[in-house]
């Protein structure tokens, strides 16, 4: 009697990556559980066995510096699975450059990339082309949003609003710069001491608890004469100046001519 031996073909392994930020979940309902359930079913329908589910919760997709994303890429390089499944391109990354470079790496490692909602897969030439086209439009949309944001910030600066964090001598209260009496006095003393003595920047910094570069930035900060700055453009601010312009200008002249 001839013995029949059956061989069971092992299924290819799939990694599932899911990501959600608090804002995404509140506005669009892309919950981790919903993504995981959809992707698990999709992977199994295509004949894959799920190797592992990688979850980044409350993480932005502006770059790839996310804990589980890094674990995913490390395991991909080690060829622990044959494909990566994601729910949508923006779950993986919002940077076209990161997407394209990562896809190229995955192809080099022999790993396919499947996006459920975008109907993208890199197992074929047409799939990769569609990925690049959709990724280009996603990047274009991000740039439009970025332009609008920059325009809004520039408009705010021109109107005298303050954008960055409060410099030494001020407190930021309800998005407005408010003079900190104690530190404001110290700012004036620093300017006067630098102007009227032979103290070096290094000595002045050490004396007041700053680095040398930090004290130089303080001495060059036009916020102290009532200015706000954005994209290298200065406007008149709404906040109270801490210094007379004459004192500030004299310090700038000394900084320009002095080798510290």
- Model pLDDT, residue 68: 93
Residues 140 and 204 in one domain: no
**pLDDT of 100 over the 80 cut:** no
Is there a single domain that holds both residue 118 and residue 21? yes
Rounded to the nearest integer, the mean pLDDT of the chain is 81
Is residue 187 domain-shared with residue 146, that is, in the same domain? no
Evaluate if residue 115 carries a pLDDT over 60: yes
Q: Is the residue at 163 inside a domain? A: no
Total residues found in the chain within this entry: 260
* pLDDT band with cut points at 50, 70 and 90 for residue 5: very low
Q: What tens digit of pLDDT does each residue of 80-96 get? A: 999 999 998 888 887 77
Identify the domain boundary among 150, 184, 216. 150
Residues 168-220 have pLDDT tens digits of 999 988 878 899 999 999 999 999 999 999 999 999 999 999 999 999 999 99
pLDDT greater than 60 at residue 163: no
Count of domains observed in the chain: 2
* pLDDT, position 96: 74
249 in any annotated domain? yes
Q: Does one domain contain both 94 and 174?
A: no
CA angle 71, 74, 80 (to 5 degrees): 100
> Residue 184 domain-assigned?
yes
Q: Are residues 129 and 240 in the same domain?
A: no
Quick one: 72 and 137 in the same domain?
Answer: yes
150, 182, 217 — which closes off a domain?
A: 150
CATH number at residue 145: 3.40.50.1390
Q: Where in the sequence is the domain holding 177, given as residue range(s)? A: 170-257
Same domain membership, residue 55 and residue 144: yes
pLDDT attached to residue 224 = 93
d(CA 18, CA 52): 11
3-state secondary structure of 53: strand
Question: Annotated catalytic sites, by residue?
Answer: 21
> Tell me, what CATH number does 180's domain have?
3.90.1750.20
Give the integer Cα–Cα distance in Å for 154 and 115. Answer: 37
Question: Is 6 within the bounds of a domain?
Answer: no
Stretch among 67-71, 133-137, 168-172, 251-255 having the lowest mean pLDDT:
133-137
The reported pTM is 0.47
- Do residue 146 and residue 177 come from a single domain? no
14: Cβ contacts below 8 Å, ≥ 6 apart: 43, 48, 49, 50, 51, 81, 82, 83, 84, 85
Q: Which of 87, 121, 150 is the last residue of a domain?
A: 150
Q: Are residues 243 and 118 part of one domain?
A: no
**Segment 239-252 mean pLDDT:** 93
Same domain, 29 and 139: yes
Q: Are residues 177 and 220 in the same domain?
A: yes
Same domain (yes/no): 31, 89: yes
pLDDT band of 79, cuts 50, 70, 90: very high
Task: Identify the pLDDT of residue 63.
Answer: 79
């Amino acid at each position: 009697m001839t013995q029949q031996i059956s061989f069971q073909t092992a299924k290819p392994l799939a990694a599932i990556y899911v990501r959600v930020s608090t804002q995404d979940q509140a506005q669009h309902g892309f919950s981790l559980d919903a993504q995981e359930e959809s992707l698990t079913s999709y992977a199994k329908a295509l004949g894959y066995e799920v190797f592992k589910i990688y979850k980044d919760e409350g993480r932005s997709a502006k770059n790839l510096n996310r804990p589980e994303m890094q674990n995913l890429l490390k395991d991909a390089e080690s060829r622990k699975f044959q494909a990566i499944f994601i729910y949508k391109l923006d779950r993986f990354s919002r940077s076209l450059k990161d997407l394209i470079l990562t896809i190229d790496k995955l192809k080099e490692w022999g790993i396919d990339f499947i996006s459920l909602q975008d109907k993208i897969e890199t197992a074929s030439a047409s799939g990769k082309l569609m990925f690049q086209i959709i990724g280009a439009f996603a990047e274009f949309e991000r740039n439009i949003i970025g332009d609008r944001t920059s325009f809004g910030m520039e408009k705010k600066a021109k109107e005298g609003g303050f954008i960055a964090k409060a410099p030494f001598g001020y407190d930021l209260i309800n998005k407005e710069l408010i003079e900190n009496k104690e530190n404001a006095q110290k700012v004036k003393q620093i300017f006067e001491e630098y102007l009227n003595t032979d103290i070096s920047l290094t000595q002045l910094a050490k004396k007041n608890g700053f680095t040398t570069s930090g004290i130089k930035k303080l001495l060059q900060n036009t916020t102290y004469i009532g200015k706000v700055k954005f994209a290298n453009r200065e406007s008149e601010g709404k906040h109270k100046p801490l210094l007379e312009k004459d004192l500030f200008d004299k310090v700038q002249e000394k900084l320009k001519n002095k080798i510290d």
